[in-house]
Amino acid sequence: MPKRSYWPWWSGAVSIEVLMKIGEEYTLTPRAMAQGGDAVGRISGMACFVSGALPGETVNVKITHVTNTYARGTVVSILTPAPERVIPRVANAPHMEWQYIASDAQLEFKRQILAEQLTYLGKLSDLPEISAVAGSDSWHYRNSARLHGYGTHLGYRGEKSAHVIVVADDPLLQPALQLAVQHLREATLLHPPEPRTPWSVSLRLSETNGQIVAAISDLPNRIAIAIRDAWLRKSPNVIGVLMPYGVHEGEEAIQETHYGITMNLGATTFFQVSLSAAKTLCDAVLAGLGDDISEWRIVDAFCGAGTFTLPLAQRAKRVIGIEEYAPAVASGQQNAWTNGLENVEWYTEPVERGIAHVLEADAIVLDPPRRGCHPETIMGILRLMPKKVVYVSCHPGTLARDLQLIVAGGYKVTAITCVDCFPQTAHVESVTVLERI
């Protein structure tokens, strides 16, 4: 949740007399987009975060949440729309919270959010100009999806709601994946789960050959088997389904080609949301490390199944991948073996523990989850003092916190790239390069 200290222009004490009440309506002109995706402005000196609004436009806002330091609200009506506002493609889609913003404006807003977090929250100065690049197409880019079921309803949940919203024609999914989801819904209607039964399904599409694998969770085995069999009859490109009790029908993984490397990826294996996003991030990581790394020893922390590990192994002398999720490490090891990469060592443990076993490194690549790096991970980096640190982030706030510590330990930020891997959403990805002073 955004904190008051994120925004310098509305810092200062707020009188209790100006506190708003839930349900009241106000007119507001937001001044910026905030981390998390809401627009933010002030009402009687108090910050108000508004979902569905844009900087510079005038809106009527209904207050939904109030604290002593900020409020939250939703747009009731738009009095003066911003030029960046467009008509949403889907009326109610919780996974596309920014679809009302023009695609080029989304990228710029993400760049601004990243800059604000680094300079104000992270208190970082003398930063290079932040470049911004599109990592995925604006629409139909997703090669994977996790859908929630509730009886026969199959769709998405809101961030703070258990209610399942069905998006019949999802404009974020690649067409082959969307067709498979449609066939799954049809199979679910033929063999309906009990009403109010919560369940889920994960799907992954190979952009290389069009094949799909899936994993169904939390359904009784009898119903899951009936749905699976009906689904497979309708969708011949679904080549494997993992059932609720760990039994596979068909293949366990699809094959994807990334950076000339053949990768086996299961339905729940972490990989970027599109091949284009994976390549764009990998391009930025490799560019940050430089051309002459053939004799380098590189640590890839939070390595997953090897999105960065394997391209690094093609170029460096030795790579150590650290990842606590054992199935991802097993997939990475298989992928390394398949591609004849024998210079990779894998540590299956939390990064803050695994990095303690590393004796030396010329570079460290970080790709942590949204919570960022554990303090002991930062201590491990500063113990090793590599020539370069490349930080791939999916949360500007935790990135700012971690960079502040790394910079204080003897590093300088030399490049920052904001990458829009998730168009139509507020998710901000970035790649930051630090060099030892």
Does residue 377 fall inside a structural domain?
Answer: yes
Cβ-contact 42, 32 below 8 angstroms: no
Number of domain units in the chain: 3
Amino acid at 30: P
Q: What whole-number distance in Å separates Cα of residue 436 and Cα of residue 406? A: 10
Amino acid at 389: V
Burial (CB count <10 Å: 0-12, 13-18, 19+), residue 365: buried
The reply to whether 314 and 361 lie within a common domain is yes
The reply to whether 127 and 165 lie within a common domain is no
Identify the three-state secondary structure at position 389: strand
Q: For residue 391, what are the domain limits?
A: 105-137+273-436
The reply to whether 131 and 185 lie within a common domain is no
pLDDT per 10-residue tile (average), the chain, 437 residues: 38 51 94 96 93 97 93 96 96 94 97 97 95 96 96 86 87 98 97 93 97 95 94 96 85 94 94 96 98 97 97 98 95 96 98 98 98 98 98 98 98 98 98 98
Q: Which CATH number fits the domain that encloses residue 310?
A: 3.40.50.150
What would the DSSP string read from start to end of 88-138? Answer: -SSSS-TT-TTTTB-HHHHHHHHHHHHHHIIIIIS---SPPPEEEEE-S-S
The reply to whether 369 and 431 lie within a common domain is yes
- Sorted by sequence, the CB contacts under 8 Å of residue 214 that are 6+ apart come out as 180, 184, 201, 202, 203, 204, 238, 240, 241, 242, 267
> 48, 303, 394, 418: which is the annotated catalytic residue?
394
The reply to whether 155 and 284 lie within a common domain is no
The reply to whether 280 and 225 lie within a common domain is no
The reply to whether 246 and 361 lie within a common domain is no
The reply to whether 198 and 162 lie within a common domain is yes
Cβ-contact 257, 125 below 8 angstroms: no
The reply to whether 285 and 384 lie within a common domain is yes
- Sorted by sequence, the CB contacts under 8 Å of residue 406 that are 6+ apart come out as 378, 381, 382, 389, 391, 434
Q: How many CB atoms lie within 10 A of CB 102?
A: 16
The pLDDT assigned to 14 comes to 46
Question: Which residues are paired to 411 by β-bridges?
Answer: 436
Q: What whole-number distance in Å separates Cα of residue 433 and Cα of residue 365? A: 9
Q: Which helix (H) or strand (E) holds 181?
A: helix 175-190
What would the DSSP string read from start to end of 256-305? Answer: EEETTEEEEE-TTS---SSHHHHHHHHHHHHHHH-S--TT-EEEEET-TT
Q: For this structure, is 394 an active site residue?
A: yes
What are the backbone angles phi and psi of residue 60, rounded to the nearest 5°? -90, 130
The reply to whether 77 and 162 lie within a common domain is no
> Rounded to whole angstroms, what are the CA distances from 27 to 46, 301, 312?
13, 47, 52
The reply to whether 306 and 383 lie within a common domain is yes
Q: What whole-number distance in Å separates Cα of residue 144 and Cα of residue 282? A: 19
Does residue 234 fall inside a structural domain?
Answer: yes
Q: Which CATH number fits the domain that encloses residue 23?
A: 2.40.50.140
The reply to whether 189 and 245 lie within a common domain is yes
What would the DSSP string read from start to end of 309-344? Answer: HHHHHHHSSEEEEE-S-HHHHHHHHHHHHHTT--SE
Tokens of 123: 């208190």
Cβ-contact 163, 304 below 8 angstroms: no
Amino acid at 357: H
